Amino acid sequence: MNNKIFVAGLSYKTAPVELREKLAVHPSRLACHGCRLKLGGDLSEVVLLSTCNRVEIYGVTPWIKGKAHRLFQLLANSDADFTPHLYIKEDANAIEHLFSVASGLDSMVLGETEITGQVKQAYQAAHQAKLTGRITNRLFQMALQTAKEIRTQTGIGRGATSVGSVAVELAERIFDKNLSAKTVMIIGAGKMGEACIRHLAKRGARSVLVSNRSYDRALNLANEFGGRAVRFDHCLEAMPQADIVVSSTGSPQTILRREDVAKVMIARGNRPLFLIDIAVPRDIDPDVHRLENVVLFNVDHLEKLVRENVRNREQELARCRSIIAEQSTAFLAKIASRPAPTQAAEPATPEWLLGGAAQHNSPGLLQVA
């Protein structure tokens, strides 16, 4: 093939955030910057992908060696030398790289799903700006199909990989995946506790109570989540309203004793209560878990689950790589077997890839929040 498929990029693996942020492109500007790259870089087709962890240029050109650094200078509108941080892959290597990226295999969190939507968005922006062609249209369509196949045929995305997201996973198991009617209470507004609250709120927890030794800090955090601040001395009085309690005070002594929680359960009518103790030393008496309908997890429990989930994902990598290799071979065979068509004969892009109502019901694309 005269024209080569290539990817030139930098990512969290090769460049610090201070450099990545200089090259980052807002989604609304992807088409504009893509046009600049296509014209200035003499590319016949191009798709620009920009996320918090990577900036990558996918394109088609007869010659890429020595050109990649100039593409990134065009992107940054700068004469800075980005070469030490760049990677360049061609043809089969470029194809497999894109399929890995779209499937979450090249992400900081192995198997994460957000990147699939970002790849789709990048492709849509380029296609609508008429920056793509026969090769990149087929390439990105197959990349998204490969991501769906990996998601459905392997367990690469199963299992949360942070303490906050594991807490949400456990809460959803306890409350049968329905957090929309649940109230969350945070005792001590530390960073890890706040992270847990953020994850729970994103998954639909109805209301948030915040109790902290500094009432002003409690007010600020409660306002951020549309919740209510509770004075630290009154947290036990408010606790019967909560279904999920996250404790992270940094207190040197236990703040929730078994007898305290027993009284809370009486006030709750013995409805299930999920306690997450992520303080070190621990905030909650370990014997609390002996109470009926009380579930208690501490930070060691959560971190153990995180490690298990990461190991499980890593074990799925071989299956994922096999799928990518098969899809890459199939793509190269398709491209090699068909002569380049005229613009009018170019295969139509499925409606689900181009946005609009149809994309939400497509059987061919993994839906990403």
Residue among 90, 19, 9, 103 nearest 50 (CA): 9
In b/e form, how buried is each residue of 194-225, taking b as 16+ CB within 10 angstroms?
Answer: bbbbebbbebebebbbbbbeeeeebeebbeeb
CB-based contact 205:274 (threshold 8 Å): no
Of the listed 32, 35, 52, 320, which one is catalytic?
52
- Cβ burial of 361 (10 Å; 0-12, 13-18, 19+) is exposed
Q: Which amino acid is at 118?
A: Q
In the sheet that 273-277 helps form, which strands lie side by side, from edge to edge?
228-231, 207-212, 183-187, 244-247, 273-277, 294-298
Q: Is 52 a catalytic residue?
A: yes
Q: Summarize the chain as % helix, strand, coil (round to 5).
A: 50, 15, 35
CB 276 within 8 A of CB 302: yes
Question: CA-CA distances (angstroms) from residue 16 to 19, 52, 56, 69, 115?
Answer: 6, 11, 15, 17, 19
> What are the φ and ψ backbone dihedral angles of 281, each rounded to 5 degrees?
-60, 160
Report the catalytic residues.
Answer: 52
